């Protein structure tokens, strides 16, 4: 396939954005009520930096539950400053080579996480998972410098439009961005400015420039084309071996490009509780300050009345056959019923956002068994979303990080993370909770076999069982002995036993009695 012209790229961008516009009302409501501080709808177009985004929000249940949803997912899948995955030998590696390959991959794994700890990965992942609560999360992974080898950027989905390829995979990503003119050359050192853009930047280097990024996959050539456009002019063009974009969907309906997160399920309750809180506050305001009726008797002027402490309001009468000139209006509404409705809605929102299993802060410390059971409950509640996060987020992130590390000569050789040569195995708390059932079954069988006597014990291959348990628990390969080391230790133990057997008769022989 030949290189696309700027006009063709812009046509693709417009078509992708028109498809995304169909989701605008849903996404706008989700960000308005649950992620107001990350909401760009209606403000980015007008350049509304610093505007208040909480004017229409009267209840914080959705905001708090969304934040906890992202925090729980990060702690369960990508815990900060911990190794949340490990690299394992793929199925194509011969069995006799797997121990050596596993030890080499452990070194690569430690090196990868040491690089991750030097970056802003944990901060970007927190924002990434906030967007995932809406349905679609997007992250940009690019090479950095010596201090920060890899740069992570969680891009709000408002700025990005997507195109799917075969099998429901995201191939093409388009982004609108706004930068100062003087920053363009700093970020893209290979940028070639047309004369009109040069004059514009020279006249005002601080003026914002609207650009379009397009990353398009060419299946015939098996690489990605990267275009940076200003209006209809192309200022940067690159050919990439891997896509820098990571796009994850929580769940996805057939035929749809964008994902649907738990916030979409909770949106009716969120809007209802927000409106109920608004009416409750209005009712409370009326209960505090009151509402009044004024008689049009030519004496009382309603426009000059001020209801405040110590105020004197001139009236024609305070009673009598014609009634008072100014009288309070009876208040309607039931505060108790509103509180019951709000409590039910709040519990429903928390349950949808997986926020119903968190223990209260006043409770005592939780045991390891209870924490493990809670992780299993979280895994069962997430369902298919867990597998999609591994496939669309964890594995592509690891693959892209290793590719960037290879580009910067931080590893000795490139690794192909395809499941055949190298595969990514999650070892996060949630993944360990998933493996607990398998471990429990093996340990129960071992106990039952031990109770059956020698025949039951001999039926268990202890070396394979130890390897299985270590693999499910994510134990590093360097902790385990190689077959050669096992044979050497067994030989040494045998020699020590023979030496002790030879010395035992000499030490145990009694001295002859004295004459």
Determine which helix (DSSP H) or strand (DSSP E) holds 288, and give its type and residue range.
Answer: helix 262-289
The pair of three-digit structure tokens given for residue 398, joined into one six-digit string: 């690891």
Indicate whether 308 pLDDT > 90.
Answer: no
Other beta carbons within 10 Å of 329: 10
**Cα radius of gyration (the chain):** 33
The C-alpha atoms of residue 216 and residue 4 are separated, in whole angstroms, by: 9
Digit-coded pLDDT (tens) for 66-104: 999 999 899 888 999 888 998 988 888 887 888 888 888
pTM of the predicted protein model: 0.80
The pair of three-digit structure tokens given for residue 75, joined into one six-digit string: 């702690």
pLDDT at 420: 82
Which own/partner contact pairs does 163-168 have at CB distance under 8 Å and 24+ positions apart? 163/12, 163/16, 163/257, 164/257, 165/217, 165/219, 168/252
- Per-residue pLDDT, averaged over 115-122, amounts to 93
Q: Helices 98-116 & 395-407, crossing angle to 10 degrees?
A: 80
Dihedrals phi, psi of 236, to nearest 5 degrees: -140, 135
- Per-residue pLDDT, averaged over 135-139, amounts to 95
488: Cβ contacts below 8 Å, ≥ 6 apart: none
The pair of three-digit structure tokens given for residue 447, joined into one six-digit string: 């106990």
Pairing assessment for the beta strands 326-328 and 160-164 based on DSSP bridges? unpaired
The C-alpha atoms of residue 376 and residue 394 are separated, in whole angstroms, by: 19
| Among 319, 294, 292, 317, CA closest to 307 | 292
- Per-residue pLDDT, averaged over 204-230, amounts to 92
Share of the chain above pLDDT 70, in %: 80
- CA distances to 100, 141, 424, 456, 467 from 96, in Å: 8, 36, 20, 29, 15
The C-alpha atoms of residue 281 and residue 279 are separated, in whole angstroms, by: 5
Distance between alpha carbon 188 and the CA centroid of its chain, in Å? 28
Establish how many alpha carbons lie within 13 A of residue 33's alpha carbon, considering only the half-sphere containing its beta carbon. Answer: 24
Binning pLDDT at 50, 70 and 90, where does residue 361 land? very low
Binning pLDDT at 50, 70 and 90, where does residue 146 land? confident
The C-alpha atoms of residue 206 and residue 77 are separated, in whole angstroms, by: 41
Max CA separation in the chain (angstroms) = 144
- CA distances to 76, 121, 279, 288 from 117, in Å: 18, 7, 48, 54
The pair of three-digit structure tokens given for residue 183, joined into one six-digit string: 């920053």
pLDDT at 467: 75
**Average pLDDT along the chain:** 83
Query: pLDDT: is 309 or 260 the higher one?
Result: 260
Indicate whether 111 pLDDT > 90.
Answer: yes
Pairing assessment for the beta strands 150-154 and 85-89 based on DSSP bridges? unpaired
Indicate the range of 36-45, 160-169, 506-515 predicted with least confidence.
506-515
Indicate whether 444 pLDDT > 90.
Answer: no
Highest mean pLDDT among 37-41, 67-71, 472-476: 67-71
pLDDT at 158: 92
Digit-coded pLDDT (tens) for 372-388: 666 666 666 676 688 88
Edge-first strand listing for the sheet containing 150-154: 150-154, 136-143, 245-249
Indicate whether 389 pLDDT > 50.
Answer: yes
| Among 38, 36, 45, CA closest to 17 | 45
- Beta-strand ranges (E) seen in 299-438 are 326-328, 422-426
Rounded to 5°, the CA angle 295-296-298 comes to 125
Other beta carbons within 10 Å of 133: 25
Indicate whether 249 pLDDT > 50.
Answer: yes
């Amino acid at each position: 396939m030949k290189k696309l012209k700027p006009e063709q790229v812009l046509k693709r961008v417009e078509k992708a954005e028109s498809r995304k516009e169909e989701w605008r009302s849903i996404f706008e409501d989700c960000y308005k009520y649950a992620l107001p501080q990350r909401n760009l709808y209606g403000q980015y177009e007008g350049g509304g930096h610093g505007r208040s985004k909480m004017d229409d929000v009267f209840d914080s249940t959705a905001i708090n539950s969304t934040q906890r949803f992202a925090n729980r997912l990060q702690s369960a899948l990508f815990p900060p400053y911990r190794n949340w995955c490990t690299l394992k030998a793929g199925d194509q590696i011969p069995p006799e080579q797997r121990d050596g390959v596993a030890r080499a991959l452990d070194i690569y794994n430690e090196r990868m996480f040491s690089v991750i700890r030097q970056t802003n990965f944990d901060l970007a992942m927190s924002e990434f998972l906030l967007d995932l609560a809406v349905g679609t999360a997007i992250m940009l992974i690019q090479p950095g410098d010596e201090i920060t080898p890899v740069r992570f950027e969680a891009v709000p989905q408002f700025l990005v439009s997507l195109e799917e390829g075969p099998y429901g995979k995201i191939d093409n990503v388009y982004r609108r961005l706004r930068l100062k003119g003087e920053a363009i050359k700093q970020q893209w050192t290979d940028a070639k400015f047309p004369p009109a853009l040069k004059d514009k930047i020279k006249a005002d280097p601080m003026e914002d420039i609207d650009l379009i990024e397009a990353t398009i996959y060419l299946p015939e050539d098996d690489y990605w084309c990267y275009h940076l456009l200003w209006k209809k002019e192309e200022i940067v063009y690159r050919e990439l071996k891997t896509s820098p974009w990571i796009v994850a969907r929580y769940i996805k309906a057939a035929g749809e490009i964008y994902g649907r997160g738990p916030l979409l399920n909770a949106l009716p309750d969120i809007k209802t509780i927000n409106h109920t809180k608004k009416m409750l506050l209005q009712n409370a305001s009326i209960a505090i300050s009151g509402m009044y009726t004024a008689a049009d008797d030519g004496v009382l002027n309603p426009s000059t009345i001020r209801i405040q402490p110590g105020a004197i309001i001139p009236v024609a009468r305070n009673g009598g056959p014609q009634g008072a000139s100014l009288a309070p209006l009876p208040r309607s509404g039931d505060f108790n019923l509103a509180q019951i409705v709000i409590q039910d809605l709040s519990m429903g929102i928390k349950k949808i956002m997986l926020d119903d299993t968190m223990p209260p802060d006043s409770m005592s410390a939780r045991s390891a068994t209870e924490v493990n059971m809670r992780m299993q409950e979280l895994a069962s509640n997430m369902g298919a979303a867990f597998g999609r996060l591994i496939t669309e987020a964890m594995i592509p992130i690891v693959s892209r990080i290793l590719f960037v590390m290879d580009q910067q000569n931080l590893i000795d050789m490139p690794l192909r993370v395809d499941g055949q040569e190298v595969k990514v195995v999650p070892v996060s708390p949630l993944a360990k909770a998933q493996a607990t059932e398998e471990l429990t079954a093996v340990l129960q069988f071992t106990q039952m076999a031990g109770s059956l006597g020698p025949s039951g014990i001999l039926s268990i291959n202890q070396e394979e069982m130890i390897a299985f348990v270590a693999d499910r628990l994510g134990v590093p390969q360097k902790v385990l002995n190689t077959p050669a080391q096992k044979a050497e230790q067994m030989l040494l133990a045998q020699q020590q036993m023979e030496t002790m057997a030879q010395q035992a008769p000499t030490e145990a022989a009694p001295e002859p009695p004295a004459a």
